[in-house]
Amino acid sequence: MNFSNLGLGALCAASLLAPLAAQAHFQLAYTPEVNLQKAGDVPVKLIFWHPFENGHVMDMGDPIQFYAVHRGEKIDLKGSLKPITFAGTENEAAAFDATLPVKRSGDYVLVVEPAPYYEESEDIFIQQITKSYVNRNEMPTDWMEPQGLVTEILPLNRPTNIVAGSTFSGRVLSEGKPVPGAEIEIEYMAAEPDMNANTPVAPKASPMPGGAVVAISDENGYFTFGIPKAGFWGFAALGSGPVKEHEGKELSQDAVIWVRAYDVE
């Protein structure tokens, strides 16, 4: 990647604190191991949650779409969905178990288009169109390609093996075009889901003081953020999608991406 195309603001990774966004909603498409060697069925959980705070869980409706892209081909995963109840520290809510069949080597891009969620406290709907990644045998095939979603974050670093202490760069797109000035909330998955118990494991970090960590995309839609810690990191470009209304109310159609960082051993 040619970083000369990035604006100074993106390179500095605008780590702004947004006091009004103290708790960030994040759609998860989670599996604990994203770098695989063997073929097989990979368990996945779809949860709408506050994983940094290990906080409130929101009810998910039936996803509009749930699929994987492998070597450019779409694999429909909706038939694998099974309703579950996920119990956070504050409440429990409807979520889903699913299965990703991993066969050939390469990238599997998981895509979730959830049903819009009504946030009563703000009187708005939220729809977080989410991508996460699984790879088999270290062969890159799909991660660097846009998936043609109405809004998405295109990763500019391989999302399955970011080095903790380095940076992650992305580009916010809406209908394939860059989104300048997008507000991007950044979330650390401090508490990861227990795949068997449907509860969180003990958190590995505490929430940041001052509210959500936020970056702003530059005039070409690019942003960069320094990854300080190993684990899963989520990025949500708020309201980056083209649809602004649902059932007569405001809709925040967000683009979400999850990446995995590792310490250098």
Looking at residue 16, its pLDDT comes to: 38
Looking at residue 171, its pLDDT comes to: 98
Nearest to 147 by CA among 72, 256, 76: 72
Looking at residue 210, its pLDDT comes to: 86
Looking at residue 23, its pLDDT comes to: 53
**Phi, then psi, of 12 in degrees rounded to 5:** -80, -10
CA distance 132 to 111: 7
Report how far apart, in Å, the C-alpha atoms of 143 and of each of 78, 107, 147, 156 are. Answer: 21, 6, 9, 9
Enter the pTM of the model: 0.91
**Phi, then psi, of 172 in degrees rounded to 5:** -85, 130
Looking at residue 207, its pLDDT comes to: 81
Q: Could you give the dihedral angle defined by the CA atoms of residues 157, 159, 164 and 168, in that order, rounded to the nearest 10 degrees?
A: 40
Looking at residue 6, its pLDDT comes to: 42
CA distance 175 to 131: 16
Interior/surface letters 150-181, b for 16+ CB within 10 angstroms, e for the rest: bbbbbbbbbbbebeeeeebbbbbbbeeebbee
pLDDT in tens, the chain (265 residues): 343 344 434 434 444 333 334 457 999 999 999 999 999 999 999 999 999 988 899 999 999 999 999 999 999 999 999 999 999 988 999 999 999 999 999 999 999 999 999 999 999 999 999 999 999 999 999 999 999 999 999 999 999 999 999 999 999 999 999 999 999 999 999 999 999 999 999 998 888 888 889 999 999 999 999 999 999 999 999 999 999 999 999 999 999 999 999 999 8
Amino acid at 253: Q
CA distance 235 to 247: 26
